Amino acid sequence: SVARVFGAVDIGASGGRVVAGVVAGGRTTLHVVHRFPNGVVERDGHLRWDFTGLYREVLTGLRALAAGFGDVASIGIDTWAVDYGLLGEDGSLLAEPVAYRDGRTAEAVERVHARVSPEELYAVNGLQFLPFTTLYQLEAERASPLWEKAAHVVLLPDLLAYWLTGELRTEVTNASTTGLLDVRTRTWSPELAADVPFPPLQEPGEVRGSLRPEVVAATGLPSTTPVTTVGSHDTASAVVALPADGSRFAYVSSGTWSLVGVELPEPVVGARARELNFTNEGGVDGRTRFLRNVGGLWLLQESLREWADPDLPTLLAEAETLPAGGPTVDVDDPAFIAPGDMPRRIAAAATGPLRTPAETVRCVLDSLAVAYARTVDQAVELTGRDVDVIHVVGGGSRNDLLCRLTAALSGRRVTAGPVEATALGNVLVQARAHGAAPATLEAIRADLAATEDVRHHVPR
């Protein structure tokens, strides 16, 4: 069959890429045409994203895509969740988006809970408590002078899509992370979202629009190129692209955060799920991503930054020689959310002394693996599902030590890869919408299980 090319824009909290996904006869090959760094910046008293800068990188990437691959069938966009930009009446961005790591929600959480109890919130939105969920950020935003000028609240992948196409929508998997969506109906909660000017919802697989003239001029892509809505929450796209054979699997999408859980046909919002702080995020095709946001490689990224970026493979090799059973931390400790001074904060929270960078790295990886194993066990308990294999995808799948420790501590088989699962899921949802991939997620994953190169880690 003829090869077709789909462009994926995938931006995580630590970096972005523009990828060409070449789909031919049940096999999808990714080519990264542009990579760029990302991170929070301090501006006007808040931690923000330089989103205008990220948009420029997206255009650069799309230009490379057009130059390298010619006939591009469609483009899809995903980023991290929960954050948003405010647009004025004329469609202009009122300020660079505040990042979820900013401390502004501290009092907002209590104000929200004074109006709606955590139990009531969980019954409606099905989300684990995280202090940076959009609901709390918007509560803090109401106190800012920009709020009364805001005509639209636009989630970040949708903001990029707006700049590319001029169309305003809210993609539904990402909307599910706002805390304002009703988990049972997948529509805005009339109580919680009443006065928030979100654009209308759109499902993955629908076409958002075609390219504005300015974008055509900047990239060389034809104006007819469709932007196709995908699972625009990066984790939703990652879960599409699990190389899973059958249904007895759990996953860890391991990057800045670790998203650990299973896929379900329906939400689970009982008291025990709330107690264990499990979330019911919306997946592609109406699925539920029943998972827990667990601390992630942010602890490692921020430590590396503090140590002036030493060579990671060397440090990991050294960490590997250290004995098992060393100090650990609770990777979910809210003390780790803010940037800066990470090695010291880890040492202060650890169950024993940490003397060297290698010891700190080993502590982080042991702690992550413990959390992965425990969370998979909890997902099994809460859902009654059997899990034979844990698929680790994302940047963390390149960390052999982390994957091996996870296999050892969970007593389950671990499959590592694909590294770029998110971009791959983005490509495949577009490909399906344009007739180039199978109809069901199960068939898509079976193709991946047959074609993707993954590494297997067996306990002991």
| Residues engaged in binding ligand LRH (CB under 6 A) | 12-13, 80-82, 100, 233-235, 255-257, 259, 293
Options 4, 8, 12, 168; binder of ligand ADP; rule CB under 6 A? 12
Contact, 197 vs 150, CB < 8 A? yes
81 binds, among ligand ADP, ligand LRH, none (CB under 5 to 8 A by kind): ligand LRH
Alpha carbon distance 244, 447 (integer Å): 9
- Residue span 201-240 as binding mask against ligand ADP, x where in contact by CB under 6 A, dash where not: ----------------------------------------
**459 preceded by a cis bond (ω within 30 of 0):** no
- Closest by CA to 172, choosing from 185, 191, 190, is 185
Residue 301 within binding range of ligand ADP, rule CB under 6 A = yes
Among 157, 394, 418, 425, binds ligand ADP (CB under 6 A): 394
DSSP 196-212: --PPPEE-TTSEEEE--
Q: Report DSSP state, residue 145.
A: T
Total of residues contacting ligand ADP (CB under 6 A): 15
**Among residues 395, 417, 418, 425, the one that binds ligand ADP under rule CB under 6 A:** 395
| Nearer of residues 101 and 385 to ligand LRH, judged by Cβ | 101
CA gap 37, 154 in Å, rounded: 23
The Cα 257–Cα 89 span in angstroms is 35
Stretch that binds ligand ADP, among 195-203, 280-288, 392-400, 430-438 (CB under 6 A): 392-400
Closest contact distance (angstroms) between CB of 395 and ligand ADP is: 2
Q: Which of 83, 234, 285, 332 is catalytic?
A: 234
Q: How far is the CB of 54 from ligand ADP (least distance, A)?
A: 12
Using CB under 6 A as the binding rule, whether residue 426 contacts ligand ADP is answered as: no
- Stretch of 11-19, 21-29, 48-56, 240-248 lying at the interface with ligand ADP (CB under 6 A): 11-19
Does the footprint of ligand ADP cover residue 255 (CB under 6 A)?
Answer: yes
For the chain, count helices (H), then strands (E). Answer: 16, 21
DSSP H helices, 199-297, are 213-219, 234-240, 271-275
By CB under 6 A, tell whether 396 contacts ligand ADP.
Answer: yes
Closest CA to 254 of 364, 168, 161, 356: 364
Q: Kindly provide the residue ranges of all beta strands, DSSP E only, lying in 12-168, ordered along the sequence.
A: 15-24, 27-37, 41-43, 46-48, 72-79, 84-87, 152-155
Number of other residues whose CB lies within 10 A of the CB of residue 310:
11
* 399 contact, one of ligand ADP, ligand LRH, none, CB 5-8 Å limit per kind: ligand ADP
- Smallest gap from Cβ 253 to ligand LRH, in A, equals 7
Three-class secondary structure of residue 98 per DSSP: strand
Q: Please check whether residue 296 is in contact with residue 254, taking contact to mean a CB–CB distance below 8 angstroms.
A: yes
**Cβ-based nearer residue to ligand ADP, 189 or 303:** 303
* Binding partner of residue 100 among ligand ADP, ligand LRH, none, CB cut-off 5 to 8 Å per kind: ligand LRH
Whether residue 10 contacts residue 34, with contact meaning beta carbons closer than 8 Å, is answered with no
Q: For residues 135 and 366, give the distance between their C-alpha atoms in angstroms, rounded to a whole number.
A: 33
Alpha carbon distance 364, 8 (integer Å): 31
Question: What is the smallest separation between the CB atom of 385 and ligand ADP, expressed in angstroms?
Answer: 25
CB distance 307 to 272 below 8 Å: no
Q: Quick check: is 234 catalytic?
A: yes
202 versus 254: smaller Cβ distance to ligand LRH: 254
When binding is defined by CB under 6 A, the residue of 93, 116, 216, 312 that contacts ligand ADP is 312
* Residue 263, phi then psi, degrees to nearest 5: -105, 135
Q: Is 350 in the site for ligand ADP (CB under 6 A)?
A: no
Of 66-74, 143-151, 372-380, 389-397: span binding ligand ADP (CB under 6 A) = 389-397
Active site residues: 234
Q: Which residues bind ligand ADP (CB under 6 A)?
A: 12-15, 255-256, 297, 300-301, 312, 394-396, 398-399
